[in-house]
Structure 1
Amino acid sequence: MPRSIWTGAISFGLVTVPVKLYSAVNRKTVRFNQLNAKTGSRIAQKRVDASTGEEVNFEDLVKGYEIASDRYVVIEPGELESVQPAKTKTIDIEDFVDLAEIDPIFYDHPYYLAPAAGGAKPYRLLLEAMRETEKVAIAKVVIRQKESLVAIRALQDHDVLEMATMLFADEVVDPERLDDIPGADDVKTNDRELAIAKQLVESLAGDFEPEKYHDTYREAVLEMIEKKAAGEEIVIAEEAEEAAPVPDLMSALKASLDAVRKTTDDDGDGADEQPKRKRPAASKSGASKAKSAAKK
């Protein structure tokens, strides 16, 4: 069962809602250790002075900010603590906005908020009010000595509040700074190309079902690890030849649309109807093997 990583209260107006914070994700990453190929032992990372090559004791380490090449401003622990945000236990709501107004690029890490002792009724009241008004709360909170901007919303399919930390505006790169993005005046498309492109989009349209998508690379790595641990030899397949490039954009669009229609027809859907992509069920074999490897 997940354990809460922070306890506090949501504050809006004169109302406080005691809450507990839970991480909403469980990152699935295959981690490797660096080993000595000759001995099979792990490699130890050491702190070495770049000028002398000697190892530095932990108690001799200080924080430094580089202001120029090899020029640093040394910051003492007490100096850093003097500018850290006050340690509060409150999620202070500053605004309520429409969900559609928030660009997904601002979202960082998701969490769940659950009611703490004595908070069931105000929690439920806030959840239903946000669901009825279809608003998202923008708030600030201090977690682990860092002030974060967060967005809180009521999930539609579950009676729970979800909180996502957000990037500040100056942390998001302005796309106008990209030199490689062509403007509408630089590249012209015709109505025929646009019509086929829209047909292709519609033919691939469907409901978002997140459980259909898998990290196939991670599953393949875990399967390979399981085989090597069992003493099997891993055969490295030769790289497949790249497909010949399609001569032009219109041909690529038509070929893509024809391929989707053929798949639809093969699945038994009517050819005269608007082609609708029928997504195959995800294979369970890779996932089961991955779980087995993870247990080992």
Structure 2
Amino acid sequence: MPRSIWTGAISFGLVTVPVKLYSAVNRKTVRFHQLNQKTGSRIQQRRVDASTGDEVAYEDLVKGFELSPDRYVVIDPAELESVEPKKTKTIDIEDFVDLDDIDPIFYDHPYYLAPGPGGAKPYRLLLEAMRETNKVAIAKVVIRSKESLVAVRPMGDVLGMATMLFADEVVDPGTIDGVPDADDVEMSEREIDIAKQLVDSLAGDFEPEKYSDTYRQAVLDMIEKKAAGEEIAVQPETEEATPVPDLMSALKASLDAVRERSGGGDAKPKPKRRRTTTGGSGSGAAPKAKAPASRAKPKAKR
């Protein structure tokens, strides 16, 4: 049973909605410890002074901001506390915006918001109002002494909240080297047409259950076999496929492969099912393709 990690209230206008915050994800990674190969014992990480080689006690540690190599500004904990954001228990809504106005790159970590004691009616009222207007609430909240920008929106019958990146944290794509300008690349209508056919032939609804972390499962299977005493055979490297001679040939070959896989004939777009609920980490009615991947229906997979 998930446990709430924060309690407070959503505030918009003069209305407050008591809420409890829950993480919407359960990260599943395979974690390893470092061991001594000769003894099998776990390696301990020690805090060592780089100039003397002596271990440093925890109470002697201070924070330092590097100005240049080997030059630091030492910051006292009390000095940091003096500039910390004021601790509040409210998610202060500043704006309501359209879901499509938010680029998914701004989303960070997803959460669920559940109503707190006495908050069922205002919670439901806010949820329905945002659903019918297809709006996302942009707000600020302080959690664990850190102020975060967040987006709140309906996800089926629950409110979702996603922390967001600030604008100056997002790298301007214009600074990326090697990205060709549209005027510098010549494309024929035939190439564009076949590329569009290939996209349409692979189009369909987003079904998150179709995808899984096959590498993580393979690692867990290998660990289980090795723990049971089985010998693990190292697979030889496979030869890379011969590259297709040119772009047009690659497009045609890809399209033919899709047609063959689907039983021959013209590759047609897959019919889309009508959406009846929203999912994700930010807005109201039926979300469009621009919303982040976290928009799946709120059935947390474990």
Do the two structures share a fold, i.e. TM-score over 0.5? yes
Equivalent position amino acid for 1:73 in 2: V
In the alignment, what sits opposite 2:69? 69
Separation in 1 of the partners of 2:270 and 2:13?
49
- Number of matched residues? 271
CA RMSD of aligned residues (A): 1.1
In the alignment, what sits opposite 1:255? 253
Name structure 2 gaps, 5 residues minimum: 272-302
1:213, distance to aligned residue in structure 2 (A): 0.2
Identity %: 79
Q: What secondary structure is seen at the aligned counterpart in 2 of 1:50?
A: coil
Corresponding position: 1:80 with 2:80? yes
Output one character per residue of 1:194-239: Cα deviation in whole Å (capped at 9) or x when no partner: 0000000000011110011000000000000000010000000101
Separation in 1 of the partners of 2:268 and 2:127?
40
Separation in 1 of the partners of 2:163 and 2:268?
41
Structure with the larger RCO, 1 or 2 (CA within 8 Å, 6+ apart): 2
Equivalent position amino acid for 2:20 in 1: K
Change (3 A) 1:275 1:79: closer
Equivalent position amino acid for 2:101 in 1: E
In the alignment, what sits opposite 1:271? 265
Change (3 A) 1:72 1:184: same
Q: What secondary structure is seen at the aligned counterpart in 2 of 1:176?
A: helix
User: Residue 237 of structure 1 is aligned with which of 225, 232, 235?
Assistant: 235
Equivalent position amino acid for 1:84 in 2: E
Separation in 1 of the partners of 2:212 and 2:147?
34
* Structure 1 residues 97-112: aligned runs within 5 Å: 97-112=97-112
- After the TM superposition, list the runs of 4 or more consecutive aligned residues in structure 1 that deviate by more than 4 angstroms: none
Q: What secondary structure is seen at the aligned counterpart in 1 of 2:262?
A: helix
Does the 8 Å CA contact 1:264/1:275 hold for their aligned counterparts? no
TM-score by length of 2: 0.88
TM-score by length of 1: 0.90
Separation in 1 of the partners of 2:225 and 2:259?
39
In the alignment, what sits opposite 1:217? 215
Corresponding position: 1:18 with 2:1? no
User: Residue 164 of structure 1 is aligned with which of 141, 162, 165?
Assistant: 162
Q: What secondary structure is seen at the aligned counterpart in 1 of 2:184?
A: coil
Separation in 1 of the partners of 2:255 and 2:140?
47
Does the 8 Å CA contact 1:261/1:275 hold for their aligned counterparts? no
Q: What secondary structure is seen at the aligned counterpart in 2 of 1:127?
A: helix
Does the 8 Å CA contact 1:107/1:164 hold for their aligned counterparts? yes
Corresponding position: 1:186 with 2:184? yes
Name structure 1 gaps, 5 residues minimum: 278-296
Separation in 2 of the partners of 1:122 and 1:131?
14
